[in-house]
A and B are shown apart, each in its own frame.
Chain A
Amino acid sequence: MSWVTKTLSSSLGRKLLMGVTGLSLIAFLLVHCGINACIFFNDGGETFNKAAEFMGTNWLIRTAEIGLFLGLIVHIVDGLLLWKSNNEKRPVKYAVNGAANSTWYSRSMGLLGTLLLIFLVIHLRHFWVVSRFTDEITSGKETLFGEMKEVFENPVPVVIYVLGCISLAYHLLHGFQSSFQSLGWNHPKYTPFIKSVGTGFAIIIPLIFAAMPIAMYLGIIK
């Protein structure tokens, strides 16, 4: 084994991988949220469609998209492997689990991540597949905004999306500050700041995301 693979497969290396890929996914969420929030201009999706078209055609963005997917795959695979191997480290479980010494969501990152993965499959099927792999949008038959309106006419996807956003919020609540800790960035000067930014991010971003399907379903955005 080379020293690189040895390092990255050690317990600390796998933690580092989770942290680095997690932070890149956080950066992606910020961009994704910013672009989608264009629907709140309530201009019939004009600004949003323009932004979406730019994201879909710009070569730099498309290259970054490949990197994003690789990061996502590493985050998922590494996360699932960690979940499995950590589970095996206590073969006989405790009979009693006493007063909480940590938050429930920090202990449930595997579960929250799995819920997010299920959500992601549904979400990618709804929008990403249509915009990248069919000619619906490029041929001008349909716009991404039109797609959104169509999907969110139905209450079932709206509920799924809101639940997805709740899982995301709790996943971020632990994940944001946790990734800094894994990178070794724990410092009395910066850690309180990182923690408050993380909490803000974990609440605000999912809230904006959740507002989109709700606003569309209620017809606030036309």
Chain B
Amino acid sequence: MEGNMNLTLKVWRQKNSNSEGRFETYDVKGISEDMSFLEMFDVLNERLITEGTEPVAFDHDCREGICGMCSMYINGQPHGPNRGVTTCQLHMRSFKNGDTITVEPWRAKAFPVIKDLAVNRSSFDRIISAGGFVSVNTGNAQDANALPIAKPDADEAFMAAACIGCGACVAACKNASAMLFTSAKISQLALLPQGQAERSIRAEKMVAQMDEEGFGACTNTGACEAECPKGISLENIARMNREYFSAVLTSK
């Protein structure tokens, strides 16, 4: 896939979590506007490998907007200039020939850089392990109609469950707060009958873990909602606040 876009990339290079990083400038030539942003990085990396230099480390997996791995802070915005997309869904036609593009990793105390643009998001996993689960008995699956769920509730839970754990909300927030993510993970269970068993302790435990991981406190700027590729709504944060306070008031 040859193209005619020539770009200047300023990319954050950092050897490991202990070293200091800095920007390196690369000229990339012959980029097609139909390439995704990650494919453009592939072109750069192949060249770096043939030149015998270290390629740029970045996370990616599905390349179709569902895994949440492709964390890149592009020209001052998580996942680049377009709304509702991940970096793998961002195409080079969103840029102009001759553009200079600055690419940084997610920056947050709770997301330390592993290398270059790859950050460690296991803090999210620990928030989920703290309470983002339901207990079910093993055995045969029960009849689907045994638990009636109203369609609006199912839809709302599903909308919260659309969170792919990408961390763009943290990257966008001036406080590096993880409340949009945590609230989506609490909501998807709180809205369903299956989530009721652990409901009274779930929010309490997940919020405590979120604070322990070193995420900031939400000041309701709404930057997370604007940058979330899955359109997770701030209503979830309000729900988390309700869940949390009713949990702490009643838990034993």
Contacts and interface: CB of A to CB of B under 8 A. Distances in A.
Contact of A94 (B73, B175, B226): B73
Interface residues of A, number: 39
Contacts of B26: none
A91 to B, nearest CB: 6
9 contacts: A7-B248, A11-B216, A11-B217, A14-B217, A89-B109, A103-B221, A177-B220, A184-B242, A188-B235
A75 to B, nearest CB: 13
Interface string B97-113: 00000101001111000
Given A183-B241, A184-B241, A11 B102 contact: no
Interface residue range, chain B? 35 or more
Pairs of residues from A and B, 9 with the lowest C-beta to C-beta distance, nearest first: A98-B76, A186-B238, A89-B216, A184-B242, A184-B241, A96-B76, A86-B175, A11-B217, A102-B221
B241 A96 contact: no
A107 B241 CA distance: 21
Interface of A: 3, 7, 10-12, 14-16, 82, 85-86, 88-99, 101-103, 106-107, 109, 174, 177-178, 181-186, 188
Nearest to B214: A89
A15 B109 CA distance: 20
B19 interface: no
B187 to A, nearest CB: 12
B177 interface: yes
B30 to A, nearest CB: 25
Interface stretch (B1-9, B133-141, B205-213): B205-213
Interface of B: 21, 23, 73-77, 81, 102, 104, 107-110, 172, 174-177, 179, 207-208, 210-211, 214-223, 226-227, 234-235, 237-242, 244-245, 248
A181 B237 contact: yes
Interface centre among A16, A93, A183, A186 (most CB of B within 10 A): A186
A90 B214 CA distance: 10
B107 A94 contact: yes
B241 A178 contact: no
Interface centre among A89, A185, A188 (most CB of B within 10 A): A89
Given A102-B223, A183-B241, A97 B217 contact: no
Interface centre among A102, A183, A188 (most CB of B within 10 A): A102
A207 B77 CA distance: 36
B76 A102 contact: no
A16 B207 CA distance: 14
Given A10-B207, A89-B215, A94-B76, A186 B235 contact: yes
Contacts of B210: 11
A86 B174 contact: yes
B164 to A, nearest CB: 18
Given A98-B75, A101-B226, A184 B217 contact: no
B162 to A, nearest CB: 18
B245 A184 contact: yes
Contacts of B81: 98-99
